[in-house]
Amino acid sequence: MEIVEQEVTRLDGIHEAIERYAVDRLRTIAKHEAYTKELEQERLNAVGWHEKNDLTEKLVEHGHHSPRKYLHEFTQQASPYFGILGIHDNDKRIGKKEYLIGNQTLMDGQRVAIVDWRKAEITGPFYEGYDIGEEYELTIRGVEREGVITRRDKVAISRKALTRIETPSEVYELRGGEWHKNGSACESTADTKERTEDHRMVDSIAALISPEQFRAITKQREGVVVINGAAGAGKTTVALHRLSFLMFDAPEKYRPERCIVLMFNRVLRDYVKQSSDTLLGPVRVDTYSAWSLTALAALGVHSLKTSFDDPFGAQKKSSLMPALLAKYVKETSKIEPVTDLWRFLMQEYVVSTLFQDSGETFRREAERKFEAKERVLSFSDISILLRLAQLRRPAGTVVLGALNAYDHIVVDEAQDLSSLELRTIVAATSPARSLTICADEKQQILSFLDSQGFSSVMAQLHSQGLEKENLTVSYRCPKEIVDLAAQVSGRKVDASRAHAGVVEFHATKTSTESMAKMRQLVEALVQAAPGSLTGVICKKKADIKALHAALAGVRGLHPEGEISFSPGVQVIHAHAIKGVEFSHVILYNPSSYDYRQTDPDRNLLYVAITRACKSLHIVHHQPLAKGLV
């Protein structure tokens, strides 16, 4: 197979180039550092202050050109590239050329041996779905280029060895030490997780990015980009790759220390950790709640205690809150921030707007806290306090980490943030208001949020030039689950890229029988694929204990209350599973009593069933929720 021989030879050449680069890099660094030492010695020996000053200036200037800043270590030895793009350019000086595309640029002397996938002006045709022989028009470094695409192949290199070549028409694969033509479909991210026994989000899917995802990733460099799409369409993946692209494309504009990724909860934050480390390096990835506390500290509000209890949490997340707060700030002057918050909540117009009947208890509570200078706040209070503290600052004030300061913010699962929370995030970005917002209104699961909140903020951002990208293809779930999800949510999704999977219903007569069935299913799944992760999902937190008891002793059962992404079995309630995924999902008794005909319940059921990458088992002893039958 000629193509295999060619590619093996090419890879050998790249390995040699990697070694040359490493040697050259260390040599250049050593030379630079030796000269630094020489200058330091000269400065030490210098007698006159004039001479000392000159040498200090020279040292500073020399420091600016440290090769450590631009000659980065090449870290992709095991799998240096994943794509080959061939062009035949009309410009005879360029002519026929092949680019290798990988996760990091590799220089071989003055020649670029591997192009970073984020160099979109070159890699665009690789991602944008060009056919072989199709004409292209590109602008590379301001120069118009025209020609035809001659090659667009994917390769897999594992532990430095070529294992697969995928051309638009053929797949060559190394199996059992022999190369075969017409190999199988490429490994799914679910299979990768099972093989590596790590069920956090896979670090980079740069090799797999689809044309619509590439467009969203490289979309308009400034302003707000909203990534919409069904569960498993790659919203979070695209958002992380997008920030990675922005920081690569314009490092002076998107500085890692001035970018942040805000996730829905700690489970999701831990789930994306591996991926965000690879793609974003030192960028902070945190929950909204954790960030809001640090933002308040940056605004000078310290010594707060937080509490999860708040009987009025829902009212405080009302979409009417931003207007109330704006009125209050206009009519009152600044006092100590926490006292300011209680005073705001005591206002007659606040109480009468938030409560249709009597808000007496609410008002009395706010008055008591005002008098007592209370420092214990619920997370709903925290977001009001943060917005209040932002609004109290003169327009245009920059406060690092809190106000008019971030170069870019990624917000995941934004549909479940209140309008006030979203406003605190928007206000924290620099005036360019550069944000990537992932949202799917069919996954809004917080019953206490009124849905106008999210749409009102989107409408406001729309008037400021928001761009929407809709991801239409589902990658996570098999076709059978995509179909069931469409039945539950009432939304059709493109399942053309979906693999085959399993949806099975198991009806029993009693909860005891259901528990026994769950155990039987879990044991079979763990035994069949020890590297897999099975999610046992229930609606009520109270069921977790009973399920743990029923599964006691099953191999790989994660301890109760501890979320882990290692292989085994995780019992978890439906509100904690947003954004994450499991090889298999077993849904415990999704009855019509637990999942009623309300939007949040329907959405919660949709979220639960779309967590499965391979199979979904529904075990029930009560009538099933609508949509499942």
Residue positions forming the annotated binding site for ATP:
229-236
If binding means CB under 6 A, how many residues of this protein chain bind ligand ATP?
A: 22
Report the 3 state secondary structure along 541-583.
CCHHHHHHHHHCCCCCECCCCCCCCCCEEEEEEHHHCCCCCEE
From 150-158, 200-208, 359-367, 454-462, span contacting ligand ATP (CB under 6 A):
200-208
Does 205 engage in binding with ligand ATP (CB under 6 A)? yes
- 166 or 440, CB closer to ligand ATP? 440
Report the 3 state secondary structure along 99-147.
EEEECCCEEECCEEEEEECCCHHHHHHHHCCCCCCCEEEEEECCEEEEE
Nearest to 549 by CA among 586, 599, 512: 512
From 23-31, 209-217, 462-470, 552-560, span contacting ligand ATP (CB under 6 A):
209-217
Does 579 engage in binding with ligand ATP (CB under 6 A)? yes
The strand pairing partners of 162, in sequence order, are 157
Does 229 engage in binding with ligand ATP (CB under 6 A)? yes
The single residue among 209, 414, 503, 616 that binds ligand ATP, judged by CB under 6 A, is 209
The strand pairing partners of 573, in sequence order, are 538
The single residue among 11, 233, 445, 484 that binds ligand ATP, judged by CB under 6 A, is 233
Nearest to 369 by CA among 317, 295, 304: 304
CB of 234 to ligand ATP, least distance (A): 3
Backbone angles phi and psi of 68, in degrees to 5: -60, -25
From 144-152, 203-211, 284-292, 377-385, span contacting ligand ATP (CB under 6 A):
203-211
Q: How many angstroms separate the CA atoms of 12 and 548, rounded? A: 52
Backbone angles phi and psi of 586, in degrees to 5: -115, 120
From 133-141, 206-214, 245-253, 367-375, span contacting ligand ATP (CB under 6 A):
206-214
- 204 or 429, CB closer to ligand ATP? 204
Q: Which two tokens stand for residue 150?
A: 């001659």
Say how many CA atoms lie within 13 Å of 70 toward its Cβ.
8
Does 236 engage in binding with ligand ATP (CB under 6 A)? yes
The single residue among 123, 210, 514, 532 that binds ligand ATP, judged by CB under 6 A, is 210
The single residue among 202, 409, 503, 612 that binds ligand ATP, judged by CB under 6 A, is 202
The single residue among 103, 123, 204, 213 that binds ligand ATP, judged by CB under 6 A, is 213
CB of 357 to ligand ATP, least distance (A): 37
Mask: binding to ligand ATP, 178-197, rule CB under 6 A, as x and -?
-----------x--------
The single residue among 369, 408, 476, 519 that binds ligand ATP, judged by CB under 6 A, is 476
139, amino acid identity: T
Q: Reduce the DSSP state of residue 616 to 3 states and report it.
A: strand
Give the DSSP letter of residue 589. -
- 123 or 443, CB closer to ligand ATP? 443
Q: How many angstroms separate the CA atoms of 199 and 206, rounded? A: 18
Q: How many angstroms separate the CA atoms of 15 and 80, rounded? A: 9
- 225 or 341, CB closer to ligand ATP? 225
Taken as a whole, the chain contains a residue count of 629
From 43-51, 99-107, 227-235, 462-470, span contacting ligand ATP (CB under 6 A):
227-235
- 80 or 234, CB closer to ligand ATP? 234
Task: Return the exposure string of 517-544: e unless at least 16 CB atoms fall within 10 Å of the residue's CB, then b.
Answer: bbbebbeebbeeeebbbbbbbbbeeebb
Q: How many angstroms separate the CA atoms of 477 and 172, rounded? A: 26
Q: Which two tokens stand for residue 574?
A: 């439906």
Residues in 383-442 that interact with ligand ATP by CB under 6 A: 440
Q: How many angstroms separate the CA atoms of 178 and 289, rounded? A: 53
Does 265 engage in binding with ligand ATP (CB under 6 A)? no
Mask: binding to ligand ATP, 586-615, rule CB under 6 A, as x and -?
------------------------x-----
Task: Compute the radius of gyration of the chain from its Cα atoms.
Answer: 28
Binding-site residues, in ranges, read 229-236
- 174 or 201, CB closer to ligand ATP? 201
CB of 279 to ligand ATP, least distance (A): 12
Q: Give the interface with ligand ATP as residue ranges (CB under 6 A).
A: 189, 202, 205, 208-210, 213, 229, 231-237, 440, 443, 475-476, 579, 581, 610
